[in-house]
Structure 1
């Protein structure tokens, strides 16, 4: 039996119940799980022989869940900026990927991204990329909870030649890691405009057979919607609904262009949304109607997208952006308040992944996925409301500690499972190779 560790923060923010901030409370963890959340005095008396970690100016929250990322693309950060989405994809990103993406590229790029995410308080990533086993290996090495999204397209890449081969590789990878704690798999059709009807039908069949969720870009741009109307006579979401894809198994990434009918359909079918505010702005995709979605009862989490289109894997920064955009877009300053924004990055993400009984809030029995944020800096003082300070004022550099399954991945800003100089050396090596190829 592993030893007991007690965390003593100034503010304990469990997320569940909502809008709760506990003072003079401590969290006890053992064997990777939260053993208790109790008044500090009780913990110190009851667990005198435990390891005690003092976090006297810190807020303790659940770890952040990045609901949409292309982690390995961290090695393409800054390669092609300030371009429209299809220009960016067709003329820059996809050609670079065809030349360079391999098991080695994906392992190195995913580890590099995970180091950045851990340093920003992310403990779970819902990824979408190729070379699935390399992504899973990176997650196990970093200690980050990893959902491997297995990309599926109709056209060939360096990874697979057709939709059938992408699907075969997805099932092969999920089977190979079936017994690994902390790693899960999802089928990830790229988008309605890159996946055919028959392939979507096969994805639904395999999702049910292997109990795998689905993760797909949907309604990211105006052109996507207009092209679908021309080709199919219906909006992409309606097409996916007719095919049977819309359910609580689906995480729809972006969903920028949703009209009232779309929102009603999403609500009725239980689809989850991965909101990517920074990427949506940088690629000029538009403004997602997040407040309207949440008002309709749709579960909305948050993602960074890839570092090639954000260009930061910074959920704290994106949370602030999401909250501000929701207020401006809805003309309602009460939209997406600080507590709701924090829930978006924690419990809402867990719900989308079907993991709400394991992660997303600091309650007894859940996995010990926890972060500590130091609020002692000038930039986050005085503290009237710690949740407000986290969402509107804190930076990712104020995340001091990160635990996943009770394992400390970062202690006082120092990574413990990854070696920073090695990661930086790998990134520079790939930069030189990409530039010179």
Structure 2
């Protein structure tokens, strides 16, 4: 792949200050990593043979979906008016019991295409048949952190599931694929769906391999009553079994006490905040302001497209800001720039990744181009930085994602996948969904 220079009137590198660079470039080397990001006037000479792209809009890092079950595009619309636990037990889990590996592959293929079209280049996935999911993501060119759910249900053996994850990591490595596109994770469903012995075994196994553990924590108020009664809280249980000592991503984190938040902060645990799904299932509003005040790494997640019901992280950016402001009665609780960082740099930090989530030298060139020929930017780009970020976050959203690169390779052009026939992917999901509902 030749080196690449992307030049645009606006570049948002997603540094901690959410800086706005004017007339700037992003330089990418042959391996797909960023070697420079900064104003064009101070840019180094381009490498010999580099491709030059002059773009008219805005460049920013690929968004990071920190918690998703994307193959659930197959189950959209099922049980949409039920609370979480009834929705799982009465609708979702029975439907999932009928899934075939090829169904999951078809669902992940379409889910990956949908996310790329929204500018989401990385997703942290928890779902069955992870090897088929990896194949689908490699087909679309996106990036993924994958874990097969480890869960104690009739007919399922948590020990065998842990062993399967161990074998996969030991065979293929923690990360593999072009541009390290796939990372393998451990995915225990939750503390309330596993015995303590299994949680302890996962902690030991993941710790030996420096693998991320991706787990639901404190999503619904009543899901973990027995664990709270015995251990005080799920975070305390996770600490006791050793899971907080390693890389841990706690999905949802809605019902956390002040002491829980302090405990997660002490261990550097990441949290995936899913405001859309939490609201739709009436699970509650996560304490985002308290998590951020404690310096906990927080990213944004869509959760599954059967509980959201889309994979558009731009909606989560808006909802995170709105709910944070409502919960605190403070219209400054989360600014547009801070909300955008949750979906980029913050998502990477929550996953324990320093190679994605920002346009900085050494990171993978996962880049999104926003077309600004739209009403949201009718006042132009020559406005104060605060106004520009507000227009992007509050008015534009995903509707004008035009082009996307992952590891320097263009995977979306003019809003469509360069690798996958979207109509065919949709037809594949329609066929599988029809069988599941029959």
Alignment TM-score, normalising by the size of structure 1: 0.94
> 1:387-423 CA deviation, whole Å, 9 max, x = no partner?
2222111131211111100011101112101111210
Equivalent position SS for 2:145: strand
The CA deviation at 1:42 is: 5.7
Shift in Å, 1:65: 0.5
> Please, which moves more after superposition, 376-385 or 274-283?
376-385
**How far is 1:255 from its partner?**
0.4
- Once residues 245 and 149 of structure 1 are traced to their aligned partners in structure 2, the CA distance between those partners, rounded to angstroms, is 16
Q: 1:229 and 1:362, CA in 2 relative to 1: closer, same or farther beyond 3 A?
A: closer
* Mean Cα deviation higher: 169-178 or 403-412: 169-178
Aligned in 2, Cα 1:175/1:397: closer, same or farther, shift over 3 Å? Answer: farther
Report the counterpart of residue 269 of structure 2 in structure 1.
Answer: 271
- The number of aligned residues is 428
Match of 1:33 in 2: 33
Q: How far apart in 1 are the matches of 2:279 and 2:396? A: 21
SS of equivalent to 1:10 = strand
Q: In the alignment, what sits opposite 1:416?
A: 418
Offset of residue 121 of structure 1: 0.4
Which deviations, in whole Å up to 9, do the C-alpha atoms of 1:117-137 show, x marking residues without a partner? Answer: 000000111100111211111
SS at match of 2:299: strand
- Gap change, CA 1:43 and 1:243, over 3 Å in 2: closer
Further displaced range: 338-347 or 169-178: 169-178
Residues 178-225 of structure 1: per-residue CA shift (max 9 Å, x gap): 243311111111011101110011001101122211110000011024
- For 2:51, the equivalent position in structure 1 comes to 51
For 1:59 and 1:240, how far apart are their aligned partners in 2? 42
Secondary structure of 2:420 counterpart: coil
Paired residues of 2:69 and 2:126 also in contact (CA < 8 A):
yes
SS of structure 2 residue aligned to 1:279: helix
Secondary structure in structure 1 of the residue aligned to 2:222: helix
Structure 2 segments unaligned to the other structure (5+ residues): none
List per-residue Cα deviations over 1:11-34 (Å, max 9, x = no partner). 101112522111011112122011
Corresponding residue of 1:238: 236
2:118 aligned to which of 117, 120, 140: 120
- Please name the residue that 2:340 is paired with: 342
CA contact (8 A) 1:119 1:397 kept: no
Q: Which residue of 1 aligns with 2:309?
A: 311
Q: CA RMSD in A?
A: 1.8
Deviation at 1:72, TM superposition (A): 1.0
CA distance in 2 between counterparts of 1:363 and 1:281 reads 34
**3-state DSSP class of the match of 1:223?**
coil
CA gap of 1:171–1:317, structure 2 versus 1, over 3 A, is: same
Taking the TM superposition and a 5 Å limit, the aligned residue runs for 1:142-153 are 142-153=140-151
Q: Give the Å deviation of 1:150.
A: 2.4
CA contact (8 A) 2:275 2:319 kept: yes
Deviation at 1:38, TM superposition (A): 3.9
Q: CA deviation at 1:45?
A: 6.6
1:222 is the counterpart of 2:186: no
Q: Residue 209 of structure 1 aligns with which residue?
A: 208
How much has 1:41 moved relative to structure 2? Answer: 4.7
Superposition TM-score, scaled by structure 2 size: 0.93
Task: Tell me the residue number matched to 1:170.
Answer: 165
For the residues of structure 1 that align with 2:285 and 2:273, how far apart are their CA atoms? 10
Q: Separation in 2 of the partners of 1:334 and 1:417?
A: 41
Q: Deviations over 1:315-352 (max 9, x none)?
A: 01110110111111112211121121111111111122
